Amino acid sequence: MFTKKRFILKRNTIEIFLLFVIFLFFFLIGSKNTYAACSYYTGCGYTFGGCIENLKGWCYDNEYACNYQGTDLCCGCGSCQPCNPCSGNYQSSNNGCTATSVTCSQYRECGNCPSCGQTTSTCYPVKYTVTNDGNGGTCSPASNSVCYGSASPALSCSRTGYTLTSYSVTSGSCGGTFNSSTGVCSSVTQNMTIQANWAINYYTISALGNGGTCTPASQSISHGSASGMVTCTRSGYDFTGFTIDPSGNCGGTFNSSTGACNSVVGNFSITAQWQLANQAPTTPTTPYCMGTTNPTNITTQTPYFSAIFNDPDTGNTGNYYEIEVNTNSSFTGTVMWDSGSQSMAATAIGSRSPDIYYDGSTLGWSGTTYYWRIRFWDNGGLVSPWSAVQNFTMHSNNAPTAPTGLQTELATNPVQVTDTTPEFRAIFQDPNTGDTGTQYEIEVNTNSSFTGTVMWDSGLQNMTSTPIGSYSPEISYNGTTLTLNGATYYWRIRFVDNYGYVGAWSATANFQMNNIPTATNPKTNGQTNPPKVPMTPYFTAVFNDADTSATGTHYEVEVNTASNFAGTVMWDSGQTAHSPAIPNGGTSSNITYGGSALSSGVLYYWRIRFWDNAGTPSNWSTTSNFRTTTPPSSPTGLLVDGQTNPTGLSTFTPPFSAIHNDLNGDSATYYEIEVNSSSAFNGTVMWDTGKTSTSVNNKSRSPNYIYAGTPLTGSGTTYYWRIRFWDVDDNTGAWSATATFRDSLFHFYLNGLQMNGIRLD
């Protein structure tokens, strides 16, 4: 019961509160504060600021009712706002377009308020760009600037090999009417692109038979494409090619054989060309051998032939021949030569051919008769019948016999040949009295059977006429290059007599090329690269040669300051005779140095080469060296009492030592030490050992030499000292650099140390 009362009380309170809120709301919107609040905003649509009215018609006279999203609003109109006529498609600045007067309406802040007047200004239409797209061609101009509302200019576009079909708008739009034939937009209202559209051209190629017929007679070919091959025929005529009319439009290459053009760019015609069909040549006439008919006593192995060319076609020439030579007149015997079809100098009708030389098997002598015939081909490739059969009879003489007395370099089968183009000769032999040798042939081979490498085959070559029993002229080798490598080569020779008879080959001869000697085991004063030699050393080396009979007859020695012999030339002996000759494998005699004066202690480089008894020089020996004698160098590493320049000593009789240096590698046999009160060693002499015996290896430290001079007293004086050595040859070495020591003993202070009652301070 208590709870229910509390609930009723609470409910009544809420209802009273809601009534209060509703009353307050109507009070506020009915007051003048509503207009003041609404007039602050521009336009309708605001749902705050106390502007909402639940019913239309409740606005004041100077307010305007509007509706926003189904809610009645009451708003003030606000002040009158200006407008800009030169906006959008117009601008206020003069851009060259025609000026126009433009009016716009002013407005209130609230969108539903009535207008409040107009503004009028002089404006200029905006310019828009009209782009002209050639689409593979070109348009002039490429673009236009057009004032708003004006018409674009007519287009002028071109494209080689194409015909214009229309224009179209590909971007933007025409605000008026677009003419697809001229590309004109009657009213341009925005940027736009106009494109040219094309159709490829086709051309006609006509083929004129010129008395014949051609297939195809015409062709239709698109621009830039290739035309096809044309075939033409005419009875009794040979086709020779096509010509193209002078104004023909073949933009590429015209093939006069096929009539094809690889790039057609216009109409044109081609015309077939003809000549009367070729006829075969007729039989050759007046065939000659050696310039006559059926000659006898032929004295050459290469007779020549000719005949007159005949042809029924005026202007033809004979361009090829064929000759057959046989042992039988029916050409069923041994074929000595069949030239086959061979070219020759063009021969006019009724003219004699060039002389054609025999090039078949070796012809026999002793009156042998051979039969021959000839035929020709004309310039059209047609062949004539064979000529009448002719013959020739060979000379009855005998061929030369085998040459004798073969010599190379005027010697029989010589060795150690040094000439890489040696000369050959032999004695001409022939059984026929009065004959002479007029030609030769030489073969040189790596094998005595002449089945190895062919070094030279001279072929038949002319030579000075040589009587029977006489030596031929010397014939220089002219084959593959020979080298001095000790190789043995084999050779033979044959001669041809004055009648052209080829003789028999000689017996086989040979010659051996010389080997290049070598110089080995070079020594100076009997040593290899000695560290010490006198100022006039001597040299030796071993002479070697693959030719066992070879000896060394000359030498050359070079001495230089540089190992590559590009330094100072101390001596070049030049090619100098060695007497007696050095036996193969033997050592030369002592070759005493004979160049510029050598300097003491310098390292020199030398090499040697020999000449053999055939006059061939060896390569240089390996490079050797020697150093001339020199006194010891300055000692280094000077120590007193085991220290460098000590400022105190552990004893008044300190030890001295140093490192012995000698470029010749000699040991030291004597030493001398000087101690002085002056660094110039002109003061008080404290100690001078004089030349005292010792033994110190090169690059080694000497024994300790105990001080034995004027007694040291601990005076604190600084003394100067130096040392030098003598080598095994009693050469006096250079003094060392000056070193020092202080006449003072080191002191050790042990303060507070007491030992059995003794205190050491």
- Please give the Cα distance from 353 to 605 (Å, whole number): 76
Residue 265 included in any domain: yes
Residue written as tokens 């070049």?
Answer: 572
Amino acid found at 633: S
> Residue 761 gets which letter from DSSP?
-
How far apart CA 467 and CA 105 sit, in angstroms, is 138
Query: Looking at the structure, do residues 297 and 373 belong to the same domain, yes or no?
Result: yes
Domain annotation covers residue 755: no
Enumerate the β-bridge partners of residue 701.
Answer: 659
Pair 565, 524 in one domain? yes
b/e per residue, 561-596, with b = 16+ CB within 10 A?
Answer: eeeebeeeebbebeeeebeebbebeeebeebebebe
Strand intervals (E) in 14-161: 63-68, 71-76, 80-81, 90-91, 100-105, 107-108, 118-125, 127-133, 138-139, 143-147, 157-158
- pLDDT tens digits along 566-620: 999 999 999 999 999 999 999 999 999 999 999 999 999 999 999 999 999 999 9
Report pTM: 0.46
Mean pLDDT is lowest, of 100-114, 268-282, 448-462, 618-632, for 100-114
Are residues 179 and 234 both part of a single domain?
no
Domain boundary among 168, 200, 232: 200
Q: Is residue 408 part of a domain?
A: yes
Looking at the structure, tell me whether residues 408 and 491 fall in a common domain: yes
Has residue 414 been placed in a domain? yes
- The answer to whether residue 92 is domain-embedded is no
Q: Is there a single domain that holds both residue 36 and residue 58?
A: yes
pLDDT in tens, 7-43: 334 445 555 565 555 545 444 444 433 333 333 333 4
- Shortest CA distance to 333 belongs to which of 367, 372, 365? 372
Do 508 and 425 reside in the same domain of the chain?
A: yes
Residue 75 confidence class, pLDDT cut points 50, 70, 90: low
Q: Let me know: does 288 contact 225? Beta carbons within 8 Å.
A: no
- Write the CATH number for 549: 2.60.40.10
Q: What is the mean pLDDT of the chain?
A: 87
SS3 label, residue 689: coil
Which of 170, 200, 230 is the endpoint of a domain?
200
User: Distance (Å, rounded) from C-alpha 193 to C-alpha 183?
Assistant: 10
Please indicate, yes or no, whether residues 528 and 505 belong to a single structural domain of this protein. Answer: no
Q: What is the mean pLDDT of residues 153-182?
A: 92
Q: Which residue has the higher pLDDT, 107 or 510?
A: 510
Is pLDDT at 414 greater than 90 in this prediction? yes
What pLDDT, on a 0 to 100 scale, did the predictor assign at position 224? 84
Query: Does 760 reside within a domain?
Result: no
CB atoms within 10 A of CB 186: 14
How does strand 335-338 pair with strand 342-348? unpaired
Together in a domain, 688 and 642: yes
Residues near 643 by Cβ (< 8 Å), separated by ≥ 6?
Answer: none
- Choosing from 362, 393, 424, the residue where a domain stops is 393
Same domain, 131 and 219: no
Q: List, for residues 627-663, the tens digit of each pLDDT value.
A: 999 999 999 999 999 999 999 999 999 999 999 999 9
CA separation for the pair 539, 594 (Å, rounded) = 11
User: Could you tell me which residue, 447 or 87, shows the higher pLDDT?
Assistant: 447
Shared domain check, 330 and 414: no
In whole angstroms, what separates CA 578 from the centre of its chain?
A: 53
Domain count, the chain: 7
Phi/psi of residue 84, each to 5°?
Answer: -115, 105
Q: Which domain holds residue 163?
A: 127-200
Same domain, yes or no: 576 and 665: no
pLDDT of 204 above 60:
yes
Residues in the chain: 761
**Using one digit for the tens of pLDDT, what is the confidence trace for 263-305?**
898 898 999 998 878 899 999 999 999 999 999 888 888 999 9
Q: What is the pLDDT, as a whole number, of residue 112?
A: 57
More confident residue, 4 or 240: 240
Same domain? 524 vs 620: yes
DSSP-derived letter for residue 589 is: P
